[in-house]
């Protein structure tokens, strides 16, 4: 990956103002939920409640969608990478680089936020902090990477609102049946200690999320904007 191509998404991030508000809002809601869980006191398995309550099922996908909006304000990956193409960069390479920047931002944001939630909500009945913190951070980062690619693919094939459309599909149908296999929700839920996705082991679900991140990004970067 060329460092020169990375300058464009980094410049987007530095210049973002109002586009930061959704990202910041979902992050604050996630931390607020962890604080509320902690203030309840005496709650058994507080980290599980904080992570599997609203963060994993709702706020993490919304955070990933906000990261896509931050670096792809035009709506699609192809359009977001167009300034690099006008400067002479190969279209596919520019789109892939921009997409990888989106995935990195989403994974880093979710990973840090997951670790923060564990640190805030951790109670005496939870797993040891030194085990729970990196585990949750890694799972959150992996889930966010899968979601970011998923939403970029949605925008590439369904237009500017495609990411939102796929969010609704994932939210309504991603927890059972074929939806649990083909969208990130079921696999992320399994890795966070919830029901398995179509009886697949958590290890298989982790591989599935990696495959989704790669395949969905490849599809999104290969699609030309109309």
Give the whole-angstrom CA distance, residue 219 versus residue 226: 15
pLDDT of residue 226: 60
Residue with tokens 């959150």: 140
pLDDT tens readout for residues 68-89 = 999 998 889 989 888 888 888 8
Band the pLDDT of 205: cuts 50, 70, 90.
Answer: very high
CA distance 144 to 188: 9
* C-beta of residue 132 within 8 angstroms of C-beta of residue 126: yes
pLDDT in tens, 126-184: 889 999 999 999 999 999 999 999 999 999 999 989 999 999 999 999 988 888 999 99
- How is residue 5 written in tokens? 């191509």
| Token reading at 167 | 């969010």
pLDDT of residue 115 exceeding 90? yes
> What local confidence, expressed as pLDDT, does residue 126 receive?
86
> Six-digit token pair at 21?
């508000």
Give the model's confidence band at 118: pLDDT under 50 very low, under 70 low, under 90 confident, else very high: very high
Task: Say if CB 66 and CB 23 are below 8 A apart.
Answer: yes
CB-count exposure of residue 124 (10 Å: 0-12, 13-18, 19+)? exposed
As for how many domains the chain has, the answer is 1
Task: Give the helix ranges, DSSP H, for 41-128.
Answer: 46-50, 60-71, 77-80, 82-86, 91-121
Domain that includes residue 97, residue range: 3-222
- pLDDT (tens digit per residue) in 5-17: 777 777 777 777 7
Residues 6+ apart with CB under 8 A from 44: 123, 125
pTM of the model: 0.92
d(CA 197, CA 178): 9
Rounded Cα–Cα distance for residues 57 and 142 (Å): 14
Instruction: Give residue-wise pLDDT tens across range 36-66.
Output: 988 886 566 788 889 998 999 999 999 999 9
Q: Which of 31-40, 108-117, 131-140, 192-201 has the lowest mean pLDDT?
A: 31-40
* Residue 60 near residue 143 (C-beta atoms within 8 A): yes
């Amino acid at each position: 990956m060329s460092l020169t191509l990375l300058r464009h998404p980094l410049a987007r991030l530095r210049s973002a103002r109002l586009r930061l508000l959704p990202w910041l809002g979902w992050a604050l809601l996630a931390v607020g939920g962890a604080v509320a869980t902690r203030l309840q006191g005496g709650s058994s398995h507080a980290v599980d409640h904080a992570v599997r309550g609203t963060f994993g099922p709702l706020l993490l996908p919304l955070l990933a969608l906000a990261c896509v909006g931050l670096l792809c304000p035009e709506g699609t990956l192809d359009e977001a990478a167009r300034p690099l193409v006008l400067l002479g960069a190969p279209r596919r390479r520019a789109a892939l680089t921009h997409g990888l920047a989106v995935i990195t931002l989403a994974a880093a944001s979710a990973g840090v936020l997951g670790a923060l939630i564990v640190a805030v909500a951790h109670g005496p009945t939870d797993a040891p902090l030194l085990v729970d913190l990196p585990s949750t951070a890694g799972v959150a980062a992996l889930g966010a990477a899968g979601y970011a690619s998923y939403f970029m693919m949605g925008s590439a094939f369904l237009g500017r609102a495609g990411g939102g459309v796929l969010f609704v599909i994932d939210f309504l149908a991603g927890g059972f049946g074929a939806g649990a296999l083909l969208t990130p929700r079921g696999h992320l839920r399994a890795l966070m200690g919830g029901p398995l996705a179509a009886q697949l082991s958590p290890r298989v679900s982790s591989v599935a999320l990696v495959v989704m991140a790669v395949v969905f990004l490849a599809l999104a970067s290969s699609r030309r904007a109309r």
